Amino acid sequence: MSRVKKVFAVACSSVMLAGVAASPAAAANNNQQDGLVNVFVGDVSVLNDANVAVAAKLAAQVCGVKVGPVAVLATQVDKSGATQTVCNEAGGVEIRQNQ
């Protein structure tokens, strides 16, 4: 067997083993965390399936607050699924888990 074939075989084996090792961990995480959330202003959805960072920036602009704390709220929403109210401006700005 040539050296290139041996290296390729070892690399393929390593990738397959890594995939097998990661499978139980992925299966255990059955929440909806995907890095995407929805932003509501009042009763109106203004941003659907948005990246957490983009949603935080929009909500922070509407509320007139810093983005950092809102990004933390958005990340918590994505992890837990619990709705978070950012502020009560314009009928209330909420970040909700996307479906």
pLDDT at residue 98 in the model: 87
- Higher local confidence (pLDDT), 87 or 32: 87
**CA 39, 44, 46, 50 torsion-angle sign:** positive
Lowest mean pLDDT among 16-20, 36-40, 52-56, 92-96: 16-20
- Higher local confidence (pLDDT), 29 or 93: 93
CA distance 78 to 13: 35
pTM: 0.66
